[in-house]
Amino acid sequence: MSAEPATSARAQHDHEDDGADAHLQHHFQDLNVQADAARLGMWLFLSTEILLFGGLFIAYSLYRQVYPEGFHAASELLSPELGLLDTAILITSSMTMVMAIFMTQKRKKNAAVILLLITIGLGLSFVCVHSYEYWRDITEGALPGKFFHVEELAGKHGAAMFFTLYFCMTGLHTIHVLIGAGILTVLTYFTWKGDYTPRYMSPLENGGLYWHLIDLIWIFLYPLLYLIA
Amino acid sequence: MTNNLINIFGRIAHWILNLPPQATELAKEVDHLHYIVAGTTMVAAFGVLGFMVAFLVRFRRSKVGNVTRRVEVPLPLEIAFVTIPLVIFLSWFQIGFKQYVRLTTPPKDAMDVYVMGKKWMWKFAYPEGPNGLNVLRVPANRPVRLLITSRDVLHAFFVPAFRVKMDAVPGRYSQTWFTATVPGTYPVYCAEYCGTAHSMMLAEVIVMEPEAYDKWIVEASRGRLKEANAGVEPNRLEDLQSDMVTQGRRIAAEQGCFKCHTVTGETHIGPTWLNMYHSTHKMQTGEEILVDEAYMTESMMDPNARQVAGYKLVMPSYFGRLHATETAAIIEYIKSLRTSMEGSKPEGPAYEPVGTK
Amino acid sequence: MSQSVPSNEVEGKKPLNYLTDGTTAMSWLNTRDHKRVGVMFLAAVTFFFLIGGVFALLIRIELLTPGPTIMSPNAYNKLFTLHGIVMIFLFMIPAIPSGLGNFLLPLMIGAKDVAFPRLNLASFYVYLIGAVMAIGGMVAGGLDTGWTFYAPYSTTTTTTVIPVLLGAFVIGFSSIMTGLNFIVTIHTMRSPGMTWGRVPLFVWSMYATSVIQILATPVLGVTLLLIALERAFQMGIFDAAQGGDPVLLQHLFWFYSHPAVYIMVLPSMGVASEVICGLSKKNAFGYKAIAYSSLGIAFVGFFVWGHHMFTSTQSTFAGGIFGVLSMLVGIFTAIKVFSWIGTIYGGSIQFSTPYFYIVGFLYFVIFGGMTGIALATMSLDLHWHDTYFVVAHFHFVMVSATVMAFLAGVHYWFPKIFGKAIHEGWGMLAAGLIILGFNATFIPQFLLGNAGMPRRYYSYPAEFQMLNVASTAGASLLAFGLIIVAAYLGYALVHGEAVDNPWGSRGFEWMTASPPIKANFEVTPVYTTEPHHYVDEPDQEKRHVG
């Protein structure tokens, strides 16, 4: 079975203008069904992502109940300002992502490419800011679990657990940002090639959904980790 | 007459089901439910299977025919499918849940024994001081509460003859209880997988006549147990010499408990420990709570779970900071601070014998 | 009903089917055809079933005597862990959904393929990668945590836990991919006329299974990652000494693994519905009841995980809730059982090998299900928890039933998949032996559990020996039966008589040639009736071969 769309399926469809039908896979009736399938698949995938983080959120809420003080004290070691910067970066990137899709719908390919590049750049700058935060935490001794040795939190029980969860949650999130940036890079390439048109742009839309999910998870993480006080 | 019949029926069921001896009253009750459930399910299952076989025979294909009548399930039948099993299942659950509550809720006058699981042995410690390894001696006809914890990985304390089982979890105390009625020796298994010698982590419960037990505990707390068991305990744990009350006082001092809690009755940053055990505390939520082992353990592990009215929340959590045995020792120490009992009794049983209450 | 019955008999020359259309190795390894992916999954799960079965036999041989028999305790602990991991993650979870489901689901709803064929192929390779990691970890030393990975044992044991954990993590992705693909396929790829009320019951059960796969597996993923991180960096999440809580792991683990039980059982219920209808020549008695009860089990299945933890220090109240909800699973199962038996009523029963297996399936579901109800009766569970009673219970209801349904499905659809007939005599004999073998293996284990023998025991008190020997004898019988199956299936694959639809079944998957052509249907089918509509179309008889 070949990966290419069957020619017969292609021939059955009237060509419009933009070659969108070339993207119709042989087993779908038409592009609408294919786009529906892609969208539904994406939403299902996003639900698995939320549940993946769900386990960590459950652990967080459990331990925060057990160690309210420790969590409180440990949270103060983090910089809410840097966290706010992270949040601003991600929200802006979500906005540029939406605009890129809008531009594709308006057939403004170059604008879309530029907006996508900005989105990727913002994503990477988020990773940079976060790496700086990690470096700050690590130099202060705020390592997870057994390696935790922050002088001022010595007596606070649960502070180490806070940082364990902090590293697990933000680490998993940062990995997602990197994956998202990778996906957007591929999408930028195809946008630049002119593959996406108003009739066929579900990869771009789904990439956008993924990016928004990353943003959304951060919006939950930020208050939980930085703003306990 | 009917009683005799029921007895005979019970014995037959007990034999068919291959159940262990019933060494407590609750075990008998649990078994009665077991007979009913097993009997009903078997009858029901065979009944359903019987229908199936009957249909299979009745509707076997006699001629090569592919055309059948279309049959749809009538609504009343469908309702019956749901309600009949539902009623039966829920009534079992109701009985089972009640029994479960009784099996897991110790009576107030139960004597305590601390149980610690450790790869791969069971350690038993009595509030009066003596310790036992892999042998738990208890009096017959007196409720015994076990406060169970683990030193390393998960274990589960399981006495088939009592139909009780409780996990031993590191970092927390779980409890179970029983009133053994038949003197004898019963095996204890570890039911939660714990590694290489999981299946060798065996112990036994020796149910003694109450008088014999009273004699034994007095002698044992004087330290004769050590001699008596000298040959059979290859791996005695350290720091078993002093009794738990003394240990508890030392640990409380080391942990700085006395910075906030007095033992003289004065109010300080935290409530006094004098007469705290079995007193009633009013919580900030307005709820009144009997201070027992469970509440004290909770307060040490999770101080703000239920906060006593009139005090600030300044107590840190000792979750993970206090070893399981240390928690037990502190609790025993607090329990000893009762004016009504004139302080601790280093010798003799610390519980009040059944009947005096 | 417009059927796209293929013109197989047109000339002497046979038209190409999916098996003959492209025969190079690459045409298989790089296929996007759901049928080929399904067949590859079937081959892989059969292989792992064999491995897991050998482990099981070794366990049973070790338990022949109360003391050491053929191996050390550590070897035994690794062996039962591997038996569990291989059987659950590599055989039972993918067997029916990824194997039979992949092959049949698009055929049953009139689709040319699943919605995401590439993802489908990827799910097979991800499965293989996970399997290689897990098996690699076993070869590199093995792990002895039990398949439940309970902390703190799993975070402190010195065996090679991490590769196997990551293997299971990766296999989880394969499961998610399949589930996601199926849901999207069922939603978007149904042919004209395939309304929700006409979707075959097997597809309904696949739908319910997929929902569980999607919603539960990620939680297992993160749990396994946390154990791996805890081992690697001593993070303390499950370590009481660092303020962590080992019981949290049990909650997270069973949040996946209890629904996962229904990933194994629901597909087998779907197979049962199809085989019973197809071989009784009857419409499903209570189609809606069967379909909705699948969804009901999937839904309730998410809220009963705590019944694995009646002795794990959870509160009595929580335990009670979990207990009551567990009873509901029994109700849904009862609805299904009654509906299946109602389907037999008034049928025209062709009692052949697949039917024999389904009778076995019903037997195991009824008795296993009843023991499940008994286990949800909390005071009884206090005695049974973590004993051989539980082992026997889940081997009855989950393993025996799934294996019965898997074998029933393989026999029923063998003509569909390969276009070859199976020898009925050998088939019946083997089915009888296997059903007998399962009983002989696990009934003694129920009694052992009653007597109080805990599970995962390497040695045991001498009074348990007789029943253990009986159980081992049963296991050998079972193995013998399975060897016969392997032999005649292998023979049928090569020398089997060519057939198209030996059962005269009117399940939708039979409305195309056997084996199907690459594109499944020559003309997109249009459905006008429910599946298994046997009212009055005598022309069906013409297609009855053999």
More confident residue, B256 or A111: A111
Compute CA C26 distance to the chain's CA centroid, rounded to the nearest angstrom.
Answer: 29
- Of A72, A174, A162, A53, residue with least CA distance to A124: A174
Pairing, β B121-125 against β B131-133: antiparallel
Q: Is the peptide bond before B120 cis (omega within 30 degrees of 0)?
A: yes
Instruction: Tell me whether residues C243 and A3 touch, CB distance under 8 A.
Output: no
Pairing, β B135-139 against β B203-208: parallel
Dihedral of alpha carbons A65, A70, A76, A80, sign: negative
Whole-angstrom Cα distance, residue C212 to residue A44?
12
Picking from B33, B56, B174, the nearest residue to C377 by CB comes out as: B33
Written as one letter, the residue type at B250 is R
Map residue B107 onto helix, strand or coil.
Answer: coil
* Angle CA C136–C142–C144, to nearest 5: 145
546 residues of chain C, pLDDT tens digit each: 344 444 444 445 667 888 888 888 888 999 999 999 999 999 999 999 999 999 999 999 999 999 889 999 999 999 999 999 999 999 999 999 999 999 999 999 999 999 999 999 999 999 999 999 999 988 888 899 999 999 889 988 888 899 999 999 999 999 999 999 999 999 999 998 999 999 999 999 999 999 999 999 999 999 999 999 988 888 888 888 888 888 999 999 998 899 999 999 999 999 999 999 999 988 899 899 999 999 999 999 999 999 999 988 888 899 999 999 999 999 999 999 999 999 998 888 889 999 999 999 999 999 999 999 999 999 999 999 999 999 999 999 999 999 999 999 999 999 999 999 999 999 999 999 999 999 999 999 999 999 999 999 999 999 999 999 999 999 999 999 999 999 999 999 999 899 888 888 888 999 888 899 988 988 888 898 888 888 865 444 444 333
Query: Is the predicted pLDDT of residue B193 greater than 80, yes or no?
Result: yes
At a CB cut-off of 8 Å and minimum separation 6, what does C432 contact?
C356, C481
Written as one letter, the residue type at A30 is D
Written as one letter, the residue type at C480 is F
At a CB cut-off of 8 Å and minimum separation 6, what does C418 contact?
C19, C492, C493, C496, C515
Q: Are B157 and B166 in contact (CB under 8 A)?
A: yes
pTM of the model: 0.84
Return the residue of B nearest to A66 by Cα.
Answer: B302
Residue C379 contacts B, CB cutoff 8 Å: yes
Compute CA B122 distance to the chain's CA centroid, rounded to the nearest angstrom.
Answer: 15
Which residue intervals of A67-79 are DSSP H helices? Answer: 68-75
Instruction: Tell me whether residues B67 and C537 touch, CB distance under 8 A.
Output: yes
Helices C162-188 and A31-66 sit at what angle, rounded to 10 degrees?
A: 140
- At A198 the pLDDT is 87
Whole-angstrom Cα distance, residue B293 to residue C499?
73
In which residue are the tokens 């519905």 written? C273
Return the residue of A nearest to B315 by Cα.
Answer: A69
Look at chain C and count its residues.
Answer: 546
Helix or strand (DSSP H, E) at B178? strand B174-178
Query: Is the predicted pLDDT of residue B348 greater than 70, yes or no?
Result: no
Instruction: Tell me whether residues C189 and A48 touch, CB distance under 8 A.
Output: no
Contacts of A3 in chain C (CB under 8 A): 30, 32, 118
Query: Is the predicted pLDDT of residue B205 greater than 90, yes or no?
Result: yes
Look at chain A and count its residues.
Answer: 229
Whole-angstrom Cα distance, residue C150 to residue B66?
53
pLDDT in tens, B262-308: 877 777 778 888 888 878 888 877 777 788 777 787 788 777 777 78
Instruction: Tell me whether residues C233 and A145 touch, CB distance under 8 A.
Output: yes
Helices A68-75 and A159-193 sit at what angle, rounded to 10 degrees?
A: 50
End-to-end CA distance of chain C: 24
Map residue C497 onto helix, strand or coil.
Answer: coil
ipTM for the complex shown: 0.88
Chains B and C form CB pairs within 8 A to the count of: 286
Helices B25-58 and B75-104 sit at what angle, rounded to 10 degrees?
A: 160
Residue A70 contacts B, CB cutoff 8 Å: yes
Residues 80-99 of A with CB under 8 A from C: none
More confident residue, B188 or A32: B188
- Of C189, C43, C41, C207, residue with least CA distance to C106: C189
End-to-end CA distance of chain B: 38
Contacts of B66 in chain C (CB under 8 A): 281, 348, 504, 506, 534, 538, 540-541, 544
Instruction: Output the average pLDDT for chain A.
Output: 86
In which residue are the tokens 């509460």 written? B145
Whole-angstrom Cα distance, residue A28 to residue B344?
82
Which residue intervals of chain B are DSSP H helices? Answer: 2-16, 25-58, 75-104, 210-221, 224-228, 244-255, 293-301, 324-336
B323 pLDDT band, cuts 50/70/90, is low
Residue C318 contacts B, CB cutoff 8 Å: no
Q: Chain A: nearest CA to B74, how far in angstroms?
A: 37
Dihedral of alpha carbons C365, C366, C367, C372, sign: positive
